[in-house]
């Protein structure tokens, strides 16, 4: 899963990003509305954590522009009254969270939004392999798999594709963030580690020059 955090308070933005990364989520951060719109044009985000009071382009306008275009929107605001929250939802936000908030709730809401697509149910299964997206757990033949955040992200994405081919570029875009070198071999190295942990018989097929599939 890849998330964009659009928050003008730099310290808060950094803390949100750090916490989401610790939860196994790839995160990019911007600090104003114009940068948020540009980032959405450049990368395929699953969820956007959007502060309502952004400078440059207001969060309301950012929400109106991107609502319904793909990424789910979790709007953040310091406003406490119901009318303000209703306004935010009517702008196209998928969920609303008031400041201050419990970080565990933020992570849970981000994960819930990412699971709303009908092609990606909370629990993914293929043969004897099970991936519980909600609890961030994976097992094969009832054997728990100890996976890194990136290994889990790749496995989740390949399973959600349901046998369709997924390119290395798509994996890089969704599982890693914008600071990753696009010319590195990090995807193939992570796939190799994941294969070893999954064991035999092999589950991940490499289609040379095109990508991977389950």
pLDDT, mean over the chain: 87
**101 plus 156 within the same structural domain:** no
In three-state secondary structure terms, 186 is: helix
* pLDDT value of position 113: 87
CA-to-CA distance for 104 and 108, rounded, in angstroms? 6
CA-to-CA distance for 92 and 122, rounded, in angstroms? 23
Q: pLDDT of 31-80, one tens digit each?
A: 999 999 999 988 889 999 999 989 999 999 999 898 877 789 999 987 65
**Least confident among 26-40, 56-70, 107-121, 180-194:** 107-121
Per cent of the chain over pLDDT 70 is 91
Range 15-41 burial, b when 16+ CB lie within 10 A, else e: ebbeebeebbbbbbbbbbbebbbebbe
Q: Are strands 72-77 and 26-30 parallel, antiparallel or unpaired?
A: unpaired
More confident residue, 76 or 181: 76
Q: Which residue bears the tokens 């875009």?
A: 173
Phi-psi category of residue 20: left, alpha or beta, with phi > 0 → left and psi -120 to 50 → alpha: alpha
* pLDDT value of position 30: 97
* pLDDT value of position 81: 63
**148 plus 195 within the same structural domain:** yes
**9 plus 82 within the same structural domain:** yes
Q: pLDDT of 136-158, one tens digit each?
A: 889 999 899 999 989 999 998 89
Residue 119 — pLDDT band, cuts 50, 70, 90? very low
Q: Which residue bears the tokens 């969920």?
A: 95
Average pLDDT for 122-139: 85
**30 plus 130 within the same structural domain:** no
**181 plus 131 within the same structural domain:** yes
Among candidate residues 52, 83, 114, the one where a domain is terminated:
114
- 48 and 3 in contact (C-beta within 8 Å)? yes
**Least confident among 46-60, 105-119, 198-212:** 105-119
Average pLDDT for 115-139: 77
209 HSE (CA, 13 A, CB side): 0
CA-to-CA distance for 211 and 200, rounded, in angstroms? 20
Contacts for 155-159 with beta carbons within 8 Å, 24 or more apart? 155/131, 155/194, 155/198, 156/1, 156/124, 156/131, 158/204, 158/212, 158/213, 158/214, 159/124, 159/125, 159/126, 159/129, 159/131, 159/214
Angle between helices 149-160 and 186-198 (to 10 degrees): 80
Structurally, the chain folds into a number of domains equal to: 2
* pLDDT value of position 125: 85
Q: Which domain holds residue 200?
A: 123-213
CA-to-CA distance for 23 and 149, rounded, in angstroms? 8
**7 plus 109 within the same structural domain:** yes
Average pLDDT for 91-114: 88
**172 plus 192 within the same structural domain:** yes
Supply the pTM of this predicted model.
0.65
CA-to-CA distance for 116 and 131, rounded, in angstroms? 16
CATH number for 176? 1.10.10.10
* pLDDT value of position 105: 92
- For 206, counting Cβ atoms within 10 Å of its Cβ (0-12 exposed, 13-18 middle, 19+ buried), the class is middle
**168 plus 149 within the same structural domain:** yes
């Amino acid at each position: 899963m890849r998330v964009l955090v659009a928050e003008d308070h730099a310290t808060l933005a950094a803390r949100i990003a750090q916490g989401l990364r610790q939860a196994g989520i790839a995160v990019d951060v911007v600090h104003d509305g114009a940068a948020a719109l540009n980032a959405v044009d450049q990368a395929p985000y699953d969820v956007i954590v959007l502060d309502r009071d952004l400078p440059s382009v207001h969060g309301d306008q950012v929400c109106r522009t991107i609502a319904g275009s793909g990424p789910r929107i979790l709007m953040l605001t310091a406003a406490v009254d119901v009318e303000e929250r209703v306004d935010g939802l009517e702008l196209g936000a998928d969920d609303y969270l008031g400041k201050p908030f419990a970080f565990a709730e933020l992570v849970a809401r981000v994960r819930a939004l990412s699971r709303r697509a009908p092609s990606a149910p909370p629990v993914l299964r293929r043969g004897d392999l099970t991936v519980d997206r909600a609890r961030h757990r994976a097992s094969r033949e009832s054997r728990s798999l100890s996976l890194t955040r990136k290994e889990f992200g790749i496995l989740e994405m390949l399973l959600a594709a349901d046998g369709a081919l997924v390119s290395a570029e798509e994996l890089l875009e969704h599982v890693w963030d914008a600071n990753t070198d696009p010319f590195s071999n990090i995807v193939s190295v992570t796939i190799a580690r994941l294969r070893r942990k999954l064991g035999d018989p092999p589950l991940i097929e490499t289609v040379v020059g095109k990508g991977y599939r389950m």
